[in-house]
Amino acid sequence: MRVVTSAEIDRVLTFPALIEALAEAFCGDMVTPVRHHHEIERKGAHGTLLLMPSWTGPAMQDGFLGVKIVTVFPENGTRSLPSVMGSYLLMDGTTGAPVAVLDGARLTVWRTAAASALAARHLAREDASRMVMVGSGALAPFLIRAHMSQRPIREVALWNHKAEKAETLAAELKAEGLPVTAVTDLEAAVRAADLVSCATLSSAPIVKGAWLKPGAHLDLVGAFNLKMREADDEALLRSQVYIDTPAAKVEGGDVAVSLQGGAISESHVRGTLADLCRTPPRREIQAITAFKSVGAALEDLAAAMLVWRSLAKAL
């Protein structure tokens, strides 16, 4: 069994290839049970264990099965450890034999950004050139690169509630040749943007619906529980809303919170990422669109399969 590092994942993956792999997976024969969620009781603290299984169906030529194992221990900061850690176990779909363990954190940022860009392929205007990245955490560089692979983005405004973090990341990305500039006036940046991507842990809405211009696309990636929000109700009310999987109606912030509060009805959610891939909608040029992601085990499996096949070709 091979151990696949984050560096190896970065070496073999590209966003165009990964986005295509996700598109095929959402249209293909894949089985994805509901994720397992277990609370781990400990003295003075607690942890969470998440198990995300998925496997290819009989129609697939070379079958695989896999499971992402994620732990969340909030007190790890006191031990100088990450609070979230994970690994991905990829197995042969015929025998069940383990073939590889992949760096779970790296696989997650790649597939999360690719899923957002896949949605934007169907929802963002084809001429989208101005992007705003809200948040400067681990996902931000991946979201920027993923969206740039699908749309002719010429300008990226990067905002963070701590301005110095946005400035540091913007300088790093600009040094790589990406058109990223740190900004402090989020409202002005959003009002001018064709695509707004959010990856934060905010507990209150950051992006206001009133700021979104006709034709804008809103990509909501952060806010992973019901106590978090990245966009207000008006943003969703003004948008044609899509979600990655039905789980986004009950998990994560934004869509689930607006549904529970009655701000939007279930019929306001037009479909899932699978719906977008199987029956792409006709893009109304002035329509505002929104996509909410909570993550799916199918995406992890598709990404792990692509990494494994790419590594095999390189041998």
Question: In degrees, to the nearest 5, what angle opens at C-alpha 152 toward C-alphas 275 and 106?
Answer: 65
Between CA 270 and CA 190 the distance in angstroms is: 24
Percent of the chain surpassing pLDDT 90? 80
Is residue 144 within 8 A of residue 136, CB to CB? The reply is no
DSSP assignment string, the chain: -EEE-HHHHHHH--HHHHHHHHHHHHHS-EE-PPPEEEEEEETTEEEEEEEEEEEE-TTSSS-EEEEEEEEE-GGGGGGTS-SEEEEEEEEETTT--EEEEEEHHHHHHHHHHHHHHHHHHHHS-TT--EEEEE--STTHHHHHHHHHTTS---EEEEE-SSHHHHHHHHHHHHHTT--EEE-S-HHHHHHH-SEEEE----SS--B-GGGPPTT-EEEE----STT--SB-HHHHHTEEEEESSGGGGTSSSTHHHHHHHTSS-GGGEEEEHHHHHHSPPPPPTT-EEEEE----HHHHHHHHHHHHHHHHHH-
Nearest to 220 by CA among 202, 211, 210: 202
Q: Which pLDDT does position 43 carry in this prediction?
A: 77
pLDDT band with cut points at 50, 70 and 90 for residue 125: very high
Residue 223 gets the label, from left (phi > 0), alpha (psi -120 to 50) or beta, of: left
Tokens of 235: 């943003």
Between CA 299 and CA 23 the distance in angstroms is: 9
Between CA 166 and CA 141 the distance in angstroms is: 11
Q: Which pLDDT does position 315 carry in this prediction?
A: 65
Between CA 48 and CA 41 the distance in angstroms is: 9
Is residue 107 within 8 A of residue 303, CB to CB? The reply is yes
Looking at every residue in the chain, the average pLDDT score rounds to: 94
The residue-averaged pLDDT of 255-272 equals: 95
Q: What phi and psi, each to the nearest 5 degrees, are found at residue 40?
A: -110, 110
The residue-averaged pLDDT of 119-133 equals: 97
**DSSP letter assigned to residue 248:** G
The residue-averaged pLDDT of 68-87 equals: 86
DSSP assignment string, 53-111: EEEE-TTSSS-EEEEEEEEE-GGGGGGTS-SEEEEEEEEETTT--EEEEEEHHHHHHHH
Residue 234: CB atoms within 10 A of its CB come to 17
Q: Is the pLDDT of residue 146 over 90?
A: yes
Q: Which amino acid is at 68?
A: K
The highest-level CATH class for domain 2-107+298-314 is alpha beta
> Architecture of domain 125-294 in CATH?
3-Layer(aba) Sandwich (3.40)
The residue-averaged pLDDT of 133-149 equals: 96
pLDDT band with cut points at 50, 70 and 90 for residue 78: confident
In the chain, list all ranges with CATH 3.30.1780.10.
2-107+298-314
The residue-averaged pLDDT of 226-250 equals: 95
In which residue are the tokens 């955490």 written?
Answer: 137
Between CA 194 and CA 187 the distance in angstroms is: 13
pLDDT band with cut points at 50, 70 and 90 for residue 252: confident
In the chain, list all ranges with CATH 3.40.50.720.
125-294
